């Protein structure tokens, strides 16, 4: 049994993902799951743990389409792809990721609590 170390809820969400890095051929892949902290991308090849990448996520939500760009670090590789931790994104991108996670979570109310500061009374 493995111990869950994630600090943020991760949801299954499949969209197009484009990976870019200096001196490396662009890769067209897709996400398997994501959180506001990171993403698992299937189809990613020749990824070195610790390498920095630009990730462009694009897809459609219920009433609109979107395209966001995120700077990320490869933290783990799998036989089918790689996991990335997000390093830098703009506020609109973060808000979009929050929305995606909330709408795809098993318990949206609990997920909202992850995004709200917890204050001590008094």
Q: What is the pTM of this model?
A: 0.86
Domain count, the chain: 1
Residue 5 lies in a domain: no
For residue 99, the enclosing domain spans 11-112
Residues 56, 69: Cα–Cα separation, whole Å:
4
Instruction: Compute the 3-state secondary structure of the chain and give helix, strand, coil in percent, each to the nearest 5.
Output: 20, 45, 35
CATH number of the domain encompassing residue 63: 2.40.10.220
Residue 47 lies in a domain: yes
Q: Label residue 60 exposed, middle or buried (CB < 10 Å: 0-12, 13-18, 19+).
A: exposed
Decide if pLDDT at 121 tops 70: no
Segment 37-42 mean pLDDT: 96
What are the pLDDT digits (tens) for 4-34? 555 678 999 999 999 999 888 899 999 999 9
Residue 93 lies in a domain: yes
Q: Give the Cβ contact number of residue 32 at 10 Å.
A: 19
Joined tokens for residue 86: 């997000």
Segment 93-119 mean pLDDT: 85
Segment 82-108 mean pLDDT: 93
Whether 19 contacts 26, CB under 8 Å: yes
Residue 52 lies in a domain: yes
What are the pLDDT digits (tens) for 76-88? 999 999 999 999 9
């Amino acid at each position: 049994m493995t111990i869950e170390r994630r600090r943020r809820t991760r949801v299954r969400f499949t969209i197009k993902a484009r990976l870019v890095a200096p001196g490396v051929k662009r890769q067209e892949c897709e996400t398997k799951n994501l959180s506001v902290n990171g993403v698992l991308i299937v189809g990613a090849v020749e990824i070195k743990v610790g390498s920095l990448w630009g990730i462009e996520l694009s897809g459609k939500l219920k009433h609109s389409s979107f395209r966001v760009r995120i700077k990320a670090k490869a933290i783990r590789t799998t036989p089918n792809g790689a996991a990335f931790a997000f390093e830098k994104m703009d506020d609109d991108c973060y808000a979009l990721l929050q929305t995606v996670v909330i709408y795809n979570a098993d318990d949206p109310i609990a997920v909202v609590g992850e995004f709200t500061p917890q204050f001590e009374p008094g």
